[in-house]
Structure 1
């Protein structure tokens, strides 16, 4: 299994780097966005029992990093994303052979609010084992996170004060604000 996991993680890493390059190209930026950034690979296993149907497998949250590539369970649903306008959760039904890509808090800051940090959760829909594989591109190891000058319009300033990923991680942990609300503490006053 180790060899399979290593090959899979290398392929997903290459995909993440390609996504970063294409994001920059689409925004007219000439940069290697994720170069040298730490990443995290996680396999999640949920053992849903008949008694857990209707309960939460993972509470409402946003991912703290920039980008998440998720291979969700092909058979067992449960992933839900929040519609920002209505506040309602929408089921993301399993689609065999597909992956899901979403932005986290760092992406919202880096893009100066252009990218949406997706609130999501996992709900137990049935008594079954549910497995998902997530690859997270976190943030720069030491450099401050802030919008590149090209993404800051002349009439506006950066929406958030610069911060390091480690400081942001500590802020989320210390405040318990894990659904994007911690970003409000780093928002510049207008």
Structure 2
């Protein structure tokens, strides 16, 4: 049961990494410093005050940079591999000692890195659509939604991890259905 809960926490945190790379790491660091979370062996550095300060600065810079026109789109090319790495690390940091190191790293790479990559690629698509349809005027709204989502998902992952995963699955199903419906509408319009 503990393994499933730690994977749910990891999935939530890695999904948050897909929205903003540093927000979940900062939340983990604050949780470590306040005693709400004990990182896996090898990730004790998250509980260092200097790391928390560094993550705070990185988070503020990352959030601020996404409000600068055209820089936000350029950041997406850097954020995609960074989100995968951060998703892998966050999932590994919450792993339990019940799994072997190989199984822990495999799960972290596949589940954590995969989840972060999927979320990050969807945010790239949304920002691209926003840029194409509004000339970037709506991008600050997209950016605000992303960092608030990263914060909420990160915090909720520690308190209601199973809910976060279930809600994520439901949202993914809704998103896939919406995309299919839009594709079908486009096919119907182009056939007319």
TM over 0.5: no
Q: Which has the higher strand share?
A: 1
- Give the TM-score taking structure 2 as reference length: 0.29
Normalised by the length of structure 1, the TM-score is 0.30
Q: Which has the higher contact order (CA 8 A, sep 6+)?
A: 2
